[in-house]
Amino acid sequence: MESARRSAVPSLVNRRGVDVVDNVGGTREFVSVFAPPHRRALMNIILHEMGTYAHVRQLAKALASRGHEISYIYCDSFQSPSSSSVGFDPTDKVAVLPVGLNSQFAKRNLAKRFVQERAYGTQVTTIMARLQPDLIISGNTPIEIQAAIQRMCQRCGTPFLFWLQDVYSIGVKAVVSKLPILGHLIAARYDLLERTVVRRSDGIVAISDDFYDLMVVNWHVDPRRISVIPNWAELPAFPQPAKENDWTARQGLSGKHILLYSGALGFKHNPQLFLDLASEFRDEPDVYIVVISEGYGAEWLSRHRQGYPRLVLLPYQTAEDFPKALASADVLIAILEPDAARYSVPSKVLSYMTAGRPILAAIPPRNLAARTIIAASSGVVVDPNDPSGLRHLARSLMDDEDRRKGLGTAALAYARANFEISIIASQFEEIFQRTVGQRLVRDAALFRPIETPARLR
């Protein structure tokens, strides 16, 4: 059924397929008129994230193709690996709504960042309220903004789904831990805020079972509100780009052996590891270390790249060039610091798998990405605190073409078996339907008329 537009503060009766039945005797009963489980009720859905990421955009397109009314909202002042190409066209039938700030989002300036998060929260919630959605799902977003969106949802009676991609408060704690006294207070504030927002969400979509344990055991979240859907990456078009392509020619990398990294480089990453790899292959003129990134980590590498002529630094690539860049690699690199390992999952590993290239991961073995690489036999994993081990594994991969081919073939096979968007979209539809239905039941209980006992009439 078509999703109906509503006023900013809708009544219970006209909201999300609820009807009121007057029974014999004057009692009233709230009844959901949603389609049964085998039929999907079409909904007006907002997908929100601060950065813009390819797998979320793919989900938006898939849901829109099924008849849902989809609004995709993101911050066009937020630097992310996919921000150079949002990648929608009119045939996708997705309403794309960028929200801008007065300047680029200040990831490392904590005071300015706080002000920007407050300003963005005000802007985005105003837009969301006007759209009057049936449900909002938001992820890849600072917890300050998640809290603002949730408050708006509570005022308007809109179900709020928290898409938990990583644990924000742990990242804050790592950044401010060196500040005496004040750092502890800031970390405690964000820890409380995050667990409060998660607990008050109508539903949570976590990308890892590790998050499930954290929420249930430490944050005391109702497990019935938690769903786990691992992240994925968009499967490549056929045929896939060849190693030698127009991108490698434009970058002057034709005929070269390449170890390539593509993605953010922030607080959770140690850029020194790329200098270690460059040192390992310093005397080999045909081996290049290519780092595609922007921001703090890329700036650090730019300052320290002297003496490493085959360390190539490039900005984020367009959606058209990104698969060609991955295809150029002999080995794809992923890194993650130990402090971030349990509650941060580098999704770049999933994109790497779609390229059919072996992965060299300097990631703690308990991290989900590391476990996925090992389970899929798609690469090798080394502790990020072991630079000599990283260099040894890089050398062994570059010296063994047959092994590289085997690992790359396994990576692509894993992607094809696990990244089918039609299956993933159906999983999200089930969660949306269940979340809205559970919210209806709770709302109905709150608004159910209290009958007067017969003896008092």
What pLDDT, on the 0 to 100 scale, is given for residue 347?
A: 85
Answer whether residue 184 shows pLDDT above 90.
no
- For range 254-265, the mean pLDDT: 95
The answer to whether domain 18-232+420-447 and domain 246-418 are alike in fold is yes
pLDDT digits (tens, 9 = 90+) for 394-413: 999 999 999 999 999 999 99
CA distances from 445 to 25, 36, 158, 441, 450 (A): 20, 21, 16, 6, 10
pLDDT digits (tens, 9 = 90+) for 265-320: 887 899 999 999 999 999 999 999 999 998 889 999 999 999 999 999 999 998 88
CA distances from 106 to 344, 383, 431 (A): 21, 30, 34
- For range 246-256, the mean pLDDT: 97
Top pLDDT among 446 and 148 is at: 148
Give the neighbor-by-neighbor strand order of the sheet with 257-262: 311-314, 287-292, 257-262, 331-335, 359-362, 379-382
> For the whole model, what pTM was predicted?
0.84
What pLDDT, on the 0 to 100 scale, is given for residue 35?
A: 43
Answer whether residue 367 shows pLDDT above 70.
yes
Average pLDDT, the chain: 86
- For range 420-427, the mean pLDDT: 97
What's the CATH fold of domain 246-418?
A: Rossmann fold (3.40.50)
The C-alpha atoms of residue 139 and residue 381 are separated, in whole angstroms, by 28
pLDDT digits (tens, 9 = 90+) for 102-135: 888 887 777 898 899 999 999 999 999 999 999 9
Specify the range with the lowest mean pLDDT, choosing from 2-16, 55-69, 304-318, 360-374. Answer: 2-16
Top pLDDT among 420 and 7 is at: 420
pLDDT digits (tens, 9 = 90+) for 76-102: 988 766 555 677 889 999 999 999 998
Residue 164, Cα to own-chain centre: how many angstroms? Answer: 8
Specify the range with the lowest mean pLDDT, choosing from 81-85, 159-163, 280-284, 370-374. Answer: 81-85
What pLDDT, on the 0 to 100 scale, is given for residue 177?
A: 73
CB 63 within 8 A of CB 94: no
The C-alpha atoms of residue 42 and residue 429 are separated, in whole angstroms, by 10
pLDDT digits (tens, 9 = 90+) for 30-73: 333 344 444 568 999 999 999 889 999 999 999 999 999 999 99
What pLDDT, on the 0 to 100 scale, is given for residue 325?
A: 97
**What is 18-232+420-447's CATH number?**
3.40.50.2000
Q: Where along the chain do its domains lie?
A: 18-232+420-447, 246-418
Top pLDDT among 29 and 433 is at: 433
Single-letter amino acid code for the residue at 22: D
